[in-house]
Amino acid sequence: MELTLWTYEGPPHIGAMRIASSMKDIHYVLHAPQGDTYADLLFTMIERRGQRPPVTYTTFQARDLGGDTAELVKKNIKEAVERFKPKTLLVGESCTAELIQDQPGALAKGMGFNIPIVNLELPAYSKKENWGASETFYQLTRTLLKEKVSSSKKISPLRWKELGRRPKVNILGPSLLGFRCRDDVIEIQRILSEQGIDTNVVAPLGASPNDIERLIDAEINICLYQEIAEASCEWLKRNFGMEYTSTIPIGIKNTIEFINEVHNKLDLPLTNKEELEHKSKLPWYSKSVDSNYLTGKRVFIFGDGTHAIAAAKIAKDELGFEVVGLGTYSREMARQLRATAKDLNVEALITNNYLEVEDAMKKAAPELVLGTQMERHSAKRLGIPCSVISTPMHVQDVPARYSPQMGWEGANVIFDDWVHPLMMGLEEHLIDMFKHDFEFVDGHQSHLGHTATKTKDLINSYDKKDNNPKKGIIWTESGRAELTKVPFFVRGKVKTNTEKYAVLKGIPEISDETLYDAKAYFS
Amino acid sequence: MLMSKVEFNKETGPREVFCGLTSIVWLHRRMPDAFFLVVGSRTCAHLIQSAAGVMIFAEPRFGTAILEEKDLAGLADAHEELDRVVNDLIARRPEIKTLFLVGSCPSEVIKLDLATVAEKLNKRFLGQVRFVNYSGSGIETTFTQGEDGALKALIPLMESSNEEKLLLVGTLANNVEDRFKKIFRNLGISNIESFPPRQSTELPKIGKNTKVLLTQPYLSDTVRDLKHRGCEIISAPFPLGIEGSTKWFLAAAKAFKISELKFHEIISPLINRAKLALEAHKEILKGKKLFLLPESQLEISLARFLHNECEMDLIEVGTPYLNKDLMKEEINLLPDNTKIVEGQHVEKQLDRVRESNPDLVVCGMGLANPLEAEGISTKWSIEMVFSPIHGIDQAADLAGLFSKPLRRNQILTTKTLATH
């Protein structure tokens, strides 16, 4: 039993719903009690969908348990098939139905429908949402393509040459409730098309079962989000020989590497290599002089595996930040994230507990947090600027404007989204610096609102926030005065270091000189 | 009973409603010294955080002890595991005075005995934390029914007293509660308490001179247990809208033998003021067709208010379940031939929505945007349980919840500025 106050991922059947809702001509009969229908609002409210998810919930009740819940399942399946006329039916159960073992998938298969039926077994007590999405997409792909396995010969990435046409690829992984998937797909298709590569199928987002059957018309697969598509890509590789990409095109360097990887696999010459560096404004914006202040900014990163790893690379290599914390809630991608963390010389944080993330954030004393909506809240409490880079989805993460994370435009979006909160941080510093000037209007509101630390109660507030206030150390008048002169975004760090130094050296009172001694000691 | 004029129907099939766990969202705010620990699955945790307005701003006073495979396979003793989770929780949140152990669908199906767990914990934490248990499972309860279970679970902890008092039962917004108490005092009823109270430890004492006035229509089990404790239940419609609230105050006044003169002296000015405030909304709602899907259990009272006071036409009034006894005063106020549908077949009901071409549909959050996309204006029912809508003074605000989507629709479809 695990105490959970809030969770980054829902149960696995929510993952299945993400696949079903992303696609056309599919219906999902979910053996579940009435409360599970809350999941519809994730799609209709958060993602602002104008259609209901294609899901029929059997909504069994306690009084049904004594009788025949299997009959109830069959009735719902029959009605759903008659009403919605899906081309493929997904059948599964949520946590409670798993316990009563009606085996709805097997029941559905015995009902004599002439459509493919995918029996989803998603263990609700050990797995989570992304796993459920991945497994559903895999089972669906397998069900719709398994008959073609023996008759097909291995697909060569060079087949397009024999066929005398442009190379074709599939883009696999984008789904509803995935971070900026809608726009990433457009961006990636644009990039591929510029390189003379056609998109065969995008799936699951917008695909129909017929499209899944057509996957093998492409030469290779683009695995855009490993959390969702890697299992399917691997199956397609094993059974049809289709190769798939492993680079996630987030950030300039990764986008270029991605383009190279695709070209290498397809044996397609890359003609516009030099142009690629200039496709996005990020490299120049990052090089321009006023970005100098970004150098060595301490950044804490937490999110799903794909976005957290990508963010760490961009932060370090493209913006010149210092990564002081890196973590993910995607256990499936823990190994990869650990490797990245090792390269960056930070400890990887793999957890589903947001309070642990908040603690790590506090200890790392970052100047910028890149996280989920939950980290945005934690950062707000700590007075640290934050930008959201990952699911779980919030209505704000589905902007009206075009704002991908991937490709050239994605890099532009990332530059703006990460740097603007920091500029606000700089503004904060200026407000702090000039507030003693007579022109300064009292009550000038900073963007951090009331959570911004006021200088006068700085030491007190830091004492309150600190988990382990250094007992027995006194800040003298001059020490306090000097501390207030330190920019607010490093003040916490300076205070902690100075106290650490005082303890180390057995200094009972911290004066202005102690601050400078500590600064020299730790530099 | 005088109910023949109303048409009753029952429907079964796939439903689209929240389960009783959802009520934790307002109950934990009502009692800031209580913690609600759901014993359930990741789905339960995900449901509450999704229904609670998508994101929590601080460490919440509700959580889920998530059952894992080893708990189900009998590898771990679920009772011992729960014990461990509770110990951790209390160590982390020492300010908690009452801990609700809330049963869920999976805990009910595996027959986890939360009552025994609560009993054992009560002994161990005697004088520090009190433990009560109830079920908010979706196989037994619908949405607001969760509050019924939570309140029923508190009744055994209430001491007995024969003191005469008015007991308001059902969660109210704090400002509405204050307002009601002031009005009752003005009427001459001075001993008034609320259940649930604002502090979980300050439970009202009850007995044969306790006169219970329900503020919410979803408390069947609570009412039954209060009756067993000797309380007198004052029969009244619910305090939604001017009419319902007036009759509600009047029923209490009669029970406390307040003179009619006094009643009119206090209530009439409120009525006049509220009618004035209601006018603008009535202007918009008048003659519009209303379809209520079942969810909050407030549907019948809302239908009564929106027809009788705002002159809307009722197409269909859905309700998750119907307690005819508890609802009799409300049903008697409904217009002739009102179609009440108990239960749901969501697909067939949506067919009827489309066929009847309503101007406004009251529904759950999962259905609202899809209906809007079809050109049908909606109001989400969950807003009724989070907004201060009770009482005469709030009648215009209540009407405003329904007139706003229509007004917005009008703004967005009318061209007021010339295009150049």
Dump the DSSP string for B123-181. HHTTTT-EEEEEE--TTT-BTTHHHHHHHHHHGGGSPB----EEEEES---HHHHHHHH
Residues of B in contact with A56 (CB under 8 A): 14, 347
Distance from CA of A343 to the nearest CA of B (A): 33
Sheet of A348-350: strand order equals A348-350, A322-328, A298-303, A368-371, A386-388
Query: Residue B194's beta-bridge partner residues?
Result: B168
Q: What percent of chain B has pLDDT over 70?
A: 96
Query: Residue B19's beta-bridge partner residues?
Result: B142
Residues of B in contact with A14 (CB under 8 A): 43, 46
Query: Which B residues, 360 through 399, put their C-beta within 8 Å of a C-beta on chain A?
Result: 364-370, 372-373
> A516 is written with which tokens?
């400078």
A35 closest CB neighbour out of B88, B105, B347: B105
Mutate to test the interface with A, among B35, B105, B107 (most CBs of A within 10 A): B105
As a whole number, the mean pLDDT across chain B is: 94
DSSP state of B377: -
CA distances B90 to B61, B64, B103, B121, B131, Å, are: 11, 14, 19, 11, 12
DSSP reduced 3-state for A122? coil
pLDDT grade for B382, boundaries at 50, 70 and 90: confident
Question: A40–B17: do the CB atoms touch at under 8 Å?
Answer: no
Does residue A345 come out as left (phi exceeding 0), alpha (psi in the -120 to 50 range) or beta? Answer: left
Radius of gyration from C-alpha coordinates of chain B: 22
Sequence length of chain B is 420
CB pairs under 8 A between A and B: 195
Dist. CA B102–CA B109, nearest whole Å: 14
Distance from CA of A10 to the nearest CA of B (A): 6
Residue A468's pLDDT is what?
Answer: 45
Residue B241's pLDDT is what?
Answer: 98
Dist. CA B285–CA A374, nearest whole Å: 40
As a whole number, the mean pLDDT across chain A is: 91
Question: B18–A11: do the CB atoms touch at under 8 Å?
Answer: no
Radius of gyration from C-alpha coordinates of chain A: 27
Residues of B in contact with A8 (CB under 8 A): none
Residue A180's pLDDT is what?
Answer: 97
Contacts of B80 (CB under 8 A, 6+ apart): none
Contacts of B73 (CB under 8 A, 6+ apart): none
| DSSP calls for A488-516 | HHHHHHHHHHHHHHHHHHT-SEE-HHHHH
Q: Which residues of chain A have pLDDT under 70?
A: 424-471, 489
Question: B41–A123: do the CB atoms touch at under 8 Å?
Answer: no
Dist. CA B384–CA B382, nearest whole Å: 5
Residue B73's pLDDT is what?
Answer: 80
Of residues B36, B347, B319, B385, the one with CA closest to residue A59: B347
Query: Which A residues, 62 through 101, put their C-beta within 8 Å of a C-beta on chain B?
Result: 62, 65, 76, 79, 83, 94-96, 99-100
Dist. CA A327–CA A245, nearest whole Å: 24
- Residues B193, B226 contacting (CB under 8 angstroms): no
Mutate to test the interface with B, among A8, A17, A30, A41 (most CBs of B within 10 A): A41
Sequence length of chain A is 523
pLDDT tens digits for A334-343?
A: 999 999 999 9
B14 closest CB neighbour out of A44, A57, A128: A57
Of residues A489, A357, A128, A65, the one with CA closest to residue B106: A65
B47 closest CB neighbour out of A38, A128, A355: A38
Run of H or E residues at B10: strand B7-11
| Residues of A designated catalytic | 290
Of residues B90, B76, B96, the one with CA closest to residue B28: B96
CA distances B379 to B325, B353, B406, Å, are: 28, 14, 10
pLDDT tens digits for B325-352?
A: 999 999 999 999 999 999 999 999 999 9
Q: Which residues of B89-101 are buried (b: 16+ CB within 10 A; e: fewer)?
A: bbeeeeebbbbbb
Q: How many CB atoms lie within 10 A of CB B275?
A: 15
CA distances A185 to A131, A170, A202, A409, Å, are: 21, 11, 8, 12
Question: B63–A381: do the CB atoms touch at under 8 Å?
Answer: no
DSSP reduced 3-state for A357? helix
pTM: 0.91
* B201, B207, B209, B213 alpha-carbon torsion, rounded to 10°: 60
Angle between helix A407-434 and helix A488-505 axes, rounded to 10 deg = 70
pLDDT tens digits for A252-298?
A: 999 999 999 999 999 999 988 889 989 999 999 999 988 888 999 99
Residues of B in contact with A33 (CB under 8 A): 19, 105, 137-139
Residue with tokens 């796993």: A131
Question: A35–B67: do the CB atoms touch at under 8 Å?
Answer: no
Helical ranges in A195-291 per DSSP H:
209-213, 226-240, 252-266, 273-276, 282-287
Residues of B in contact with A94 (CB under 8 A): 43
- Residues B107, B114 contacting (CB under 8 angstroms): yes
Dist. CA B156–CA B153, nearest whole Å: 7
* B87, B88, B91, B97 alpha-carbon torsion, rounded to 10°: -60
Report chain B's terminal Cα–Cα distance, integer Å.
64
> ipTM value of the model?
0.94
Question: A37–B17: do the CB atoms touch at under 8 Å?
Answer: yes
pLDDT grade for B77, boundaries at 50, 70 and 90: confident
- Residues B106, A123 contacting (CB under 8 angstroms): no
Run of H or E residues at A462: helix A458-465
Residues of B in contact with A65 (CB under 8 A): 109, 139
Measured in degrees and rounded to the nearest 5, phi and psi for residue A439 equal -70, -20
Residue A434's pLDDT is what?
Answer: 62
Is residue B139 within 8 angstroms of chain A, CB to CB? yes
